[in-house]
Amino acid sequence: MSAAAGHTPSPSSGPATGATPDTAPGATPDTAPGPAADTGPTLAHHLATAEVLVCCGSGGVGKTTSAAALGLEACRLGRRAVVVTIDPAKRLADALGVPGGLGNDPVQLQVPGDGQLWAPMLDTATTFDGLVRANAADAEQAERILANGFYRNVAGSLSGTQEYMAAERLHALHNDPRFDLVIVDTPPTRNALDFLDAPGTIAKFIDHPLFKLLMMPTRRGMKVLNLAAQPLLRTIGRVVGGDVLADAVAFFQAFAGMETGFRRRADEVTALLSSDVTRFVLVASPRADTIEEACYFASRLAASRLEVGAVVVNRCTPTFGPPPARRPRAAARAALYDNLLELRTNAGVEREQAAALLQATGVPAGTHTTWVPTLPGDVHTLDALATIRGLLFD
Amino acid sequence: MLVVELDGKPTLGRLLPGVAVQQLSASAALAEYLDTHGLSRVTRRLASRGIIDVVATASPGIDDIVVLGKIKQLERSGLYDLVVVDGPAAGHAITFLLAAKSLLSSVRGGPIHTQATDVAEMLADPTRCQVVLVTLPEATPVNEAVETAYALEERVGVHLAPVVVNAVDSGPGLPADEAPEGSPMRLAAEFRNARRAVHETECIRLGDELALPQLVLPIVAGSQLTAESIDALADEWAPR
Ligand SMILES: Nc1ncnc2c1ncn2[C@@H]1O[C@H](COP(=O)(O)OP(=O)(O)OP(=O)(O)O)[C@@H](O)[C@H]1O
Ligand SMILES: [Mg+2]
């Protein structure tokens, strides 16, 4: 996807110049009164006290946008924050004013505040390669794995790997003395839960019976010699065609000895995710499917006794104050009146339905919810991000 | 006709009362495939412990090909005039539809090869199969739709049907300056005009960058679609 961002002319490339539709007057509409009392800790409280903030939610709801806006607020508060983003369109990098986009190493961004804001872009394959190098007994073992076809499939395309690497990256950045807050923008997944299950991804392979079968203690230096003789492998080969498993077998063999390191690391990542310095920010839109996903996620967090931080319902229909007492007679003004009323009605219905959905499932009663209206334009300039920050915190 | 839902939570049954809806899941389809091809004893022992994952990872696209194979089977069954598949999101759609071609070059012979040949044939024949891209009138989705369209045409060679632009807010410009600056009526009109301008600009850009007819669906207010709102949306396209 990233290559495409380059060839599509986009008004957002480069630094923001002057007024854009994103920040047109009226971009900060009033918000309708919420039906539920949010007694829990606010987003601002979490931002001030957490060491790790994870933004999760369905595709397109505004995770990347929220993560960036949280970063702006953190910097304003004087924290040394790093936002790990997974934004395939690179629009965020544009908005944050990073020429040439973000790389795997964090760069410091020029944003207002006493603190610092840093941002790397998550590069799944590079992160995974680094993990292999760190755990390999020697360079030779690392190279054998990195060159293996099965490994490349795992690192490049296996569902769950991107989530796992995001978790791995957050762990590394949490231990990095340059930062005191790590904000994570999770990948667009069909299922937000993949992120929680992420550290299990590699365990799934190293606990695999095939791995155990191949790693059966044999005489020193001698692994399973006659692979073709394994009836299981023979049958699979016959069914799926050719020797598709040859690379897998080679991978499992090359991996021998590294599983302890990998498993320990996965355990550390899980421990960090479940410690109380980590808070989850559930991002949704007022649409039912995104709220249901957030609720399901919340119930999973609760089941694992994890901290459900706060909820952000983004892209709500904005309201703009009460309509005049009566509908104007003149056609032109009547059209304006009708429009105001239509938006107000839509916003009310949407808000009521969304709040009912939030209460009906999963999300613990009293969890603080912030309602963010849709802006007139896309959020891909620093100004527009600052507006979102204001809507979240001011 | 038949509607096929891939993976995920079933939602279409509720929205389409009276229409046949079938769920297909990649892992279930692959398990079934291995089962019917002589791995039953093995899978029964190992399925729950991830042999399916290893096979799918060792041979990327194999799970996609068994799903596409099932769809081809439904298409060939003669039971339906039309099979509508609710496909994967843009990013995965290309890999999904490319699975046949990739496997044809990596796997020689065997049942998977046969399966991939049949699927590739179906995908290449516009009288049997066409792809309907669906997008939103916003910058990122439009960029993605354009990229996906080119990738599908060039790399998969599948025929593209008209593109659907969903949730479009259209209407005449509102005379915002008829109301005093900063008044609720003025702000609401300015907001609405700005959103409509974005939608219009993006529809035009989509037309410029992608030479396909567009089918537009209006935005539906509220949190949840119902069977009634789906009916109303369908009427938008009904011949008048
Ligand atoms: N409050 C808002 N008003 C208007 N546009 C918004 C708002 N929030 C987000 N957007 C826009 O919606 C689009 C999706 O937002 P974003 O990329 O943050 O979502 P995401 O959840 O990270 O998506 P993905 O799942 O694809 O990573 C972007 O183009 C963004 O500019
Ligand atoms: Mg994102």
A107-108/A116-119 β-pairing: antiparallel
- Of B50, B189, B224, nearest to A339 by CB-CB distance is B189
The residues with which B163 forms a beta bridge, in sequence order, are: B214
Domains with residue ranges and CATH for chain B: 1-128 (no CATH), 132-240 (3.40.50.300)
Instruction: Specify the ligand 1 atom closest to the Cα of A378.
Output: 31
Which three-class secondary structure state does DSSP give residue A370?
strand
Q: Is A93 in the pocket of ligand 1 (CB under 6 A)?
A: no
Residue A351 Cβ < 6 Å to ligand 1? no
- Predicted confidence at residue A60, as pLDDT, reads 86
Q: A154 versus A337: which is more confidently predicted?
A: A337
At B84, the amino acid letter reads: V
Q: What is the ipTM of this complex?
A: 0.87
CA angle B103, B97, A189 (to 5 degrees): 110
Give the closest of B54, B143, B189 to A8, CB-based. Answer: B143
pLDDT in tens, A44-58: 999 999 999 999 888
Asked if residue A378 lies in contact with residue A22, where contact means CB atoms within 8 angstroms, the answer is yes
Q: Are B216 and B168 in contact (CB under 8 A)?
A: yes
Q: How far is the CA of A380 from the centre of ligand 2 (A)?
A: 12
Instruction: Report strand pairing: B2-6 vs B20-24.
Output: parallel
Residue B64 or A361, more confident: B64
Q: Token digits for A241?
A: 């065609």
pTM above 0.95, yes or no: no
CB–CB contact A205 B190 (8 Å):
no
Contact, A57 vs A287, CB < 8 A?
no
Q: Identify the burial level of B29 via C-beta atoms within 10 angstroms of its C-beta, where 0-12 means exposed, 13-18 middle and 19 or more buried.
A: buried
Q: Determine the distance in angstroms separating the CA of A240 from the nearest CA of chain B, rounded to an integer.
A: 6
Give the ligand 1 atom nearest the CA of A377: 4
Which ligand 1 atom is at minimum distance from the Cα of A314?
A: 1
The verdict on a CB contact (< 8 Å) between A333 and B185 is yes
DSSP B93: H
Q: Can you give the pLDDT at residue A34?
A: 44
Residue B215, SS3 per DSSP: strand
- Segments of chain A assigned E as strands: 52-56, 80-84, 107-108, 116-119, 181-185, 278-284, 308-316, 369-373
Q: Quick one: which of A394, A393, A377 has its CA closest to A95? A: A377
SS (H, E, C) A88-99: CCCHHHHHCCCC
pLDDT, tens digit, 9 for 90 and up, residues A178-221: 999 999 988 765 555 566 666 666 666 666 666 666 555 544 44
How far A58 CA sits from the closest chain B CA (Å)?
A: 12
Residues B222, A22: Cα–Cα separation, whole Å? 24
- Cβ of B51 within 8 Å of Cβ of A210? The answer is yes
Contact list in B for residue A8 (CB cut-off 8 A) is: 143, 146, 209
Cβ–Cβ below 8 Å for A150 and B57: yes
Give the range among A146-160, A222-236, A258-272, B106-120 with minimum mean pLDDT: A222-236
Cα A194 to averaged position of ligand 1 atoms, centre (Å): 20
Ligand 1 atom, smallest distance to A60 CA = 23
* Residue from B166, B67, B69, B63 nearest B115 by CA: B69
Q: Which of A190, A244, A335 sits opposite B8 (nearest CB)?
A: A190
Give me ligand 1 centre to Cα A388, in Å.
11
Chain A residues within 8 A of B34 when measuring between CB atoms: 236, 239-240
The residue count for chain B: 240
Q: What mean pLDDT is predicted for residues A106-110? A: 90
Strands A116-119 and A181-185: unpaired
Among A31-45, A159-173, A245-259, B52-66, where is mean pLDDT lowest? A31-45
Q: Residue A146 C-alpha to ligand 2 middle, in angstroms?
A: 28
Query: Atom 25 of ligand 1 has which residue's CA nearest to it?
Result: A59
> Closest approach of chain B CAs to the CA of A26, in angstroms?
6
Q: Which segment of A218-232, B121-135, B160-174 scores lowest on mean pLDDT? A: A218-232
